[in-house]
Amino acid sequence: MNFKIENKIKNSLGRAGMISTSHGDILTPAFVTVGTKATVKSLSPEQVREAGAQVVLANTYHLYLEPGEKIIKESGGLHKFMNWQGPTMTDSGGFQAFSLGVAYGNKLSKFIAAESPEPEEIDEAYAEEKDKKAKITEDGVEFKSIIDGSTHFFTPEKSIQIQNDIGADIIFAFDECTSPHASKEYLKEASARTHRWAERSLIENSKLKIKNSKQNALFGIVQGGRYEDLRVESAKVIGEMDLASRGGGFQGFGVGGSFVKEDMATAVKWVNEILPEGKPRHLLGVGEPIDLILGVENGCDTFDCVAPTRMARNGTLYTKHGKINIMNAKYKNIFEPIDEGCECYACKNYTTAYLSHLFRAKEMFASTLASIHNLYFLNNLMSQIRESILNNTFPDFKNNFLENYKS
């Protein structure tokens, strides 16, 4: 993998560039489409590509459970298995330590609002095993299968082995994603554990690349929650991690963990001011349009999130003026495209009224058209951001977008 910076945003950390992989180039900044189980729900690979997607991210935990990484390896790897010819990524399974652990059954997300009250004794949730499907130890994470309840243990080495079998171009070190409500004491402990796991991931991937002649790129993940000193420390440790005897350090970086929603861009800036400038930076699990713009401005190159397709299946659609719910009665009689000027397949061929009808009739085609539109919207947004950086007009683009878009 190679990364080249083509232009920078004046007086900020943002840049436009290109990540080159053995399966093609990624023009950055770029949105990474999530295909959790080696498929983007309701869409064919051709439709994903036509919606402007450059790269697809698959989920290590879910593919390990079903169909199993060995089957994917036997098929020739992720690209052949899902018939996607472009670049691919896999996450490490670290997010499931949060989503199946403290967040499971508690309706917790990785974001909290600035005014959110601090739950008392939140760390008790980490120690509580009842009804949780993930238990964190120093050596790794014990998962209970969401399919049959069987027990599985992920170590950093195991995560890297699974990702190598799946065969993505860019993979991530195993980390612990924490709750935004966690205490600073716990976040410090979890961040230090993530650093130890990062080194183990780096060593294991280096062994496998030598053994199997693999050409993947391993990204290290920065943690630290909402605290500046923890974020800064994590960025320094991960950014400087270089095992000369094992082929060097990470080839890129992921910014992970939890955030205060209003301060997400600030937290990203803390990290990217420290990470090596010449390597790509990926913001994990962030996909709202305004967050993408702020993330780019503060130095991130790629982003992934399930939101655009998940919201699409529930009838929520992006427009240049903000999100709409297609189930609202007023859309039943609008015989215009979802978003005026949009060049996606859905907007060029169907009306808002037709899409409203499909959702009300519970037709499967509704999810397909809505997902195409939402993916195109974000991919086109990233393309416009990139063009504005190359043309040195990013501040004007940002201001115009924020004036019109109502989140």
Cα-only R_g, the chain: 21
What's the rounded Cα separation, in Å, for the pair 260 and 181?
Answer: 9
Strand order in the sheet with 134-136: 134-136, 141-144, 151-154
Task: Judge contact between 97 and 177, C-beta under 8 A.
Answer: yes
Q: How many residues does the chain have?
A: 407
Residue 119 carries which DSSP code?
Answer: P
Which amino acids are annotated as binding site, given as ranges?
91-95, 175, 223, 257, 342, 344, 347, 373
Spot the catalytic one: 91, 169, 291, 301: 91
Task: Judge contact between 4 and 387, C-beta under 8 A.
Answer: no
Which amino acids are annotated as binding site for Zn(2+), given as ranges?
342, 344, 347, 373
Spot the catalytic one: 25, 304, 339, 396: 304
What's the rounded Cα separation, in Å, for the pair 202 and 205?
Answer: 5
The DSSP-derived string for 51-103 is TT---EEE-HHHHHHTT-HHHHHHTTSHHHHHT--S-EEE--SHHHHHHTTTT
What's the rounded Cα separation, in Å, for the pair 177 and 142?
Answer: 14
Which amino acids are annotated as binding site for substrate, given as ranges?
91-95, 175, 223, 257
Catalytic-residue membership of 91:
yes
Q: Which residues form the catalytic set?
A: 91, 304
